[in-house]
Amino acid sequence: MEREIEKVAELLKKKPYTVVFTGAGISAESGIPTFRGSTGLWSRYNPEEVVSLSGFKKNPERFWQFVKDTLFKLKAKPNPAHYAISELEKIKIVKSVITQNIDRLHQQAGSRRVIELHGSMEYVDCLSCGKVYKWEEIEKKLNFQLLPICDFCKSIYLKPRVVFFEEPLPEEAMKEALEETNKSEVFIVVGSSLVVYPAAHYPYLAKKKGANLILINKEPTDLDFIFDIKIFGKAGEILPKIVEKLKNLSGN
Ligand code: NAD
Ligand code: ZN
């Protein structure tokens, strides 16, 4: 592993145009469970049902219970992996982060250019009357009731602006992600099983354009074979080591 970390640091030292792609795994050490993987949520819930548009419309209460059990009660904070990436942006190596996560932990850690492929919890829309809520308002409601209700029209369909199963990905974010991937000279995947479309697509694209592909993940993925450097382990341990190594190499 040390050898691989050194190789990545050597690559980054030349300040290539670096794009980081993150999945749920990067937030695991912040206490947010992943869906897949050995300790994933899949064993307890069926996210494809709970977090699908039809499932939500059938049973919004079940969705909010899921939120309470995952994001909400944890008050999750960024972990060393999020901070390492924002540090790499500050020293002008990482140009953007493409994420499938909806937890906003990259932004909390100081990353500025974050492309959210699956939206985020920042805003919540009333599907019935169109009223828009800030997440904090909904969070308050959830302290008193399991099922938040629209103040204006009493609808029970308050949906966070996250992309549910059965919904298309946001066009603008997709476009930006594509542009960034095409520009990248180094493309780093962190904490993604690379099975959800379009996650699997991006490393291929980057590779086609000649980028160096790096994988940092706890478990092997189906796409391991296309990566130039693979480091298996916890993102929160590996990424800070890369930053440290890079600093040593650059002599500060
Ligand atoms: P995923 O398919 O990308 O799988 C997570 C991967 O992370 C697994 O391969 C696992 O081995 C790896 N991993 C686990 N802990 C890790 C660690 N400490 N360091 C490095 N790698 C680690 O993601 P998913 O869980 O199947 O989620 C599917 C979609 O659901 C995501 O794309 C996301 O949109 C959404 N989701 C978001 C969050 C969040 O916002 N934090 C959490 C769960 C799911
Ligand atoms: Zn309403």
* pLDDT tens digits, one per residue of 88-104: 999 999 999 999 999 89
Whether residue 239 contacts residue 190, with contact meaning beta carbons closer than 8 Å, is answered with yes
* Protein residue with least CA distance to atom 34, ligand 1: 100
Whether residue 33 contacts residue 40, with contact meaning beta carbons closer than 8 Å, is answered with yes
Ligand nearest to the CA of 38: 1
Whether residue 212 contacts residue 187, with contact meaning beta carbons closer than 8 Å, is answered with yes
| Cβ partners under 8 Å of residue 22, min gap 6 | 85, 97, 98, 99, 100, 101, 106, 189, 190, 191, 192
What distances in angstroms separate CA 123 from CA 102, 129, 139, 169, one per listed residue? 11, 15, 11, 16
Over residues 101-157, the pLDDT tens digits come to: 998 999 999 999 999 999 988 899 999 999 999 999 998 998 888 899 999 999 999
Q: Residue 86: its pLDDT value, please?
A: 98
144 CA from centroid of ligand 1 (Å): 30
Return the closest-CA partner of residue 143 out of 72, 219, 221, 43: 72
* Residue 106 annotated among the catalytic residues of the structure: no
- CA torsion sign, 81 to 86 to 91 to 96? positive
Q: To test ligand 1's pocket by mutation, which of 29, 30, 34 has the most ligand atoms within 8 angstroms of CB? A: 34
Is the pTM value of this prediction over 0.85? yes
The CB density around residue 151, as the number of other CB atoms within 10 Å, is: 14
Over residues 176-197, the pLDDT tens digits come to: 999 999 999 999 999 999 987 7
Give the residues surrounding ligand 1 with Cβ less than 6 Å away: 23-25, 27-29, 32, 34-37, 40, 100-103, 118, 191-193, 195-196, 217-219, 221, 234-235
Question: Phi and psi (nearest 5°) for 4?
Answer: -65, -40
